Chain A
């Protein structure tokens, strides 16, 4: 996720552009840049770090009126957050500048073709192919809008793009496919942004582009077309939200916004990584030579990421038949781990800065093990020190309680497991079935979110509980732990995640009428066992909130309350089953009046041991 902002018409200046992308900083903040256009000249500035503290007068740019400008705040996906990789990116001739939000999936093949035709690339980004592609097309196409449209037709993946060309310095060319684009219609200016946040200072009249649409912005208006060049008529809408509302996407809290973003973040974690033609996954950041020699895996992580790691153990053992161990980051160094040269240590951390996990991979490297990182923040310390890894592409996570980063970690672990599995005898058919099930997850996550009202009602019913139990087996056991953790951290209700079969070895003594139990019973393989647990809890006058696969009417008839999730394969159930638990925790916290985004005593990234 990145933020883009563009402005043509009266009042364009470095100050105005900087002010614009400051409003988008919550969308990405590892680097930023801007470009101003004049006749036959583009002036470009790029910097690493947050834009918040920047004084525009220090940018060596004339703070006068310019015909147009674009600005970008970056959340790195391809290439570390460096000045070279920051947007805007330009063509060889320095006449075209592009800012982009999204992922160009076919950038490698486009880049190879353009390099073969003599183009020189400056960055490691996927975005840089766009200005070079337009430049190449302009060799045979004299009309810039036509060249822009032709370039768009060659891109696959997701993009929200704004382009400046110094041949028409008062014009901005924009397009959308999968990443949002909003056009602001001012009196003597036209603007573009990733969302309305930077627009409301200039106008409340906006137009939302749909996928497959492009627009040409002039100071006095705009024209919208589809990718084939056919004009499209768009309706002007009024922005009714306040600025904080816009930043939270209209949600009351970042946590809820991030829960709701999961269909998109899951899609982004999968994007460009499914190779159905081979029944496997493509993980560009991890070499197959390394993966082929792996005989054991050791996952190191903390908190929610450790719960993802526990699911990862089942995935790696079940799909790839690789013995896997999971250890808390803080324990790893002191537990004298047995690491052989063919052990792969997998560090999982949203921020990539978690101190205990970082210390763990340093220890692993000292012992000669190979390490890979599963991180959300590109260029973070863990990502860099591991050398190889897989980014989750979940976008910035602001809420302290991790939600979308967790499901993205699970998606990445699933991709890793199927890839390792296919290297170790998993059949093509099994691989394809798994990939097809993975591809359905974004839609299925959206189905669960559509049922939020029911979960909110259940949350209200149990919001006064002092203790809550969460029980599950196999793939759902880590989800029981994660559900309990979510409830604890944001609603301050005591909650315990228990392996369901262990209930009778102690925890069942806690069951009482006012201690509800969340029973995770969606897995087909152990569903009957979970029915047994449900009976045991009900027999002791406990209340059961069941999370079941849709259509399980038998369990629904038994449980006090039931939340259905769509049908999927057992190994993928954690990705769906955790969403109702995130919602449950969220609504309980709201009902109890807790500060959801800033829970007491907690920090987003734990960078101390």
Chain B
């Protein structure tokens, strides 16, 4: 029999904002894999339980087999770090069949629910962890899985995971090694003048990738299907680009999710950038403090020590930056926000942030939807009622974030 895996979200996702506002935690890319990919690599069937506002859009993208306890079910927290080595752990735990519950910090990371267990009629994201703990399954002595507890950890885990995850892709995918440690899928075009350095890691291009003249890539680098690397772009070490992106300027140790444009010059370093983001020409972020000290994240009423010397920005889906936007070290930019000038503070979702010009205003959800529709059309995608509903839900979910911000928008 094949493993039966259930990826479940829990109630501890607030600190993953804005990354997890618009996608399930198992769909967050880190080092060229999501946890969904890792679970699929374990073999068998993968089902999921996500927060209510994500159910419909997730169902469009991932099949959801009915939960059935005729065989043991391996519940895996959707926030588990997408480390491909966990695929083997998951499979082994399922095959061993011994019931357990494992924790990581303050959350349940995994549990093996024995066959024949009566499943609740409805299992919600808030309900899974209490249900698993109330069953009093044996507490596993080891931590087993690490979890992404804060948004900045997506960047923190990028480098440690990159080598193994990329090597697994190369081993299991259909690529040609067109040059030493340069792997390409079908129909990849790399300009003769492009420079590809692979001494410290491989470079992998998915199908239909175009790499333009004078691009300079230093592995390990992963570039998703249909993405265009613009002329003179510089992608340096631990760069992971999604599908259908346009990437220019200088990018270092960063993740860019699909359908995002960073077409022009400007530096992006040690950052995570969501989908459908557009960074205008000259947009740059800082990833190192002048003091060379640890980067701390500032939130209303609390400060989070990251333990990282290099940390750039976390930029939510649909965010846009104007020309020459400068984002300070370790700033969190919310979903559908628009940036102008200097960005010296975290920006809540749905904000027009033009602090340099004295203005921070709320970005109406209707405007965000109009922009979404226009962007989708450029990529041949139709805006669905589910897309609209998700945007409106996220707008409501982030209302309080705008109100308690250090610099609340003028409403």
Contact = CB atoms under 8 A, between A and B. Distances in A.
Contacts, number: 31
A433 B139 CA distance: 8
Interface stretch (A276-284, A460-468, A513-521, A581-589): A276-284
Given A277-B129, A433-B139, A428 B134 contact: no
A428 B106 contact: yes
A36 B117 CA distance: 49
A432 B139 contact: yes
B139 A279 contact: no
A433 B108 CA distance: 14
A427 interface: yes
A427 B130 contact: no
A167 to B, nearest CB: 36
Given A276-B136, A433-B139, A428 B108 contact: yes
Contacts of A277: 129-131, 133-134
B139 A429 contact: yes
A276 B133 contact: yes
Given A429-B139, A432-B139, A276 B134 contact: yes
Contacts of B130: 277-278
Nearest to B105: A427
A432 B103 contact: yes
B106 A427 contact: yes
Interface in B344-363: none
A428 B143 CA distance: 11
A134 B143 CA distance: 47
Contacts of A278: 130, 133
B107 interface: yes
Interface string A427-462: 111001100100000000000000000000000000
Interface in A392-437: 422, 427-429, 432-433, 436
A433 B134 CA distance: 13
Nearest to A277: B130
Contacts of B103: 279, 427-429, 432
Interface string A164-206: 0000000000000000000000000000000000000000000
Counting contact residues on chain A (CB < 8 A from B), the size range is 10 to 19
A277 B143 CA distance: 18
Contacts of A433: 139
Contacts of B143: 429
A288 to B, nearest CB: 15
Interface string A242-280: 000000000000000000000000000000000011110
A428 B105 contact: yes
Contacts of B108: 428
Nearest to B140: A429
Nearest to B106: A428
A247 B106 CA distance: 48
Nearest to A427: B105
Interface centre among A276, A429, A432, A436 (most CB of B within 10 A): A429
Interface string B132-162: 0110100100010000000000000000000
Contacts of A276: 133-134, 136
Contacts of A429: 103, 139, 143
A108 to B, nearest CB: 17
Contacts of A432: 103, 133, 139
A277 B111 CA distance: 13
A244 B134 CA distance: 44
Nearest to B134: A277
A436 B101 CA distance: 14
Interface string B98-125: 0000010111100000000000000000
A427 B149 CA distance: 13
A429 B107 CA distance: 9
Contacts of B105: 427-428
A420 B107 CA distance: 17
Contacts of B106: 279, 422, 427-428
Contacts of B136: 276, 436
A278 B103 CA distance: 11
Nearest to B130: A277
Nearest to B143: A429
Contacts of A427: 103, 105-106
A278 B126 CA distance: 11
A427 B139 CA distance: 13
A38 B328 CA distance: 80
Interface centre among A279, A422, A436 (most CB of B within 10 A): A279
A428 B111 CA distance: 14
A216 to B, nearest CB: 33
B240 to A, nearest CB: 30
Nearest to B141: A429
Nearest to B132: A277
B107 to A, nearest CB: 6
Interface of A: 276-279, 422, 427-429, 432-433, 436
Interface of B: 103, 105-108, 129-131, 133-134, 136, 139, 143
22 contacts: A276-B133, A276-B134, A277-B129, A277-B130, A277-B131, A277-B134, A278-B130, A278-B133, A279-B103, A279-B106, A279-B133, A427-B105, A427-B106, A428-B105, A428-B106, A429-B103, A429-B139, A429-B143, A432-B103, A432-B133, A432-B139, A433-B139
Given A429-B103, A433-B139, 6 more contacts: A276-B134, A277-B131, A428-B106, A428-B107, A432-B133, A432-B139
Closest 3 CB pairs of A and B: A277-B130, A429-B103, A428-B103
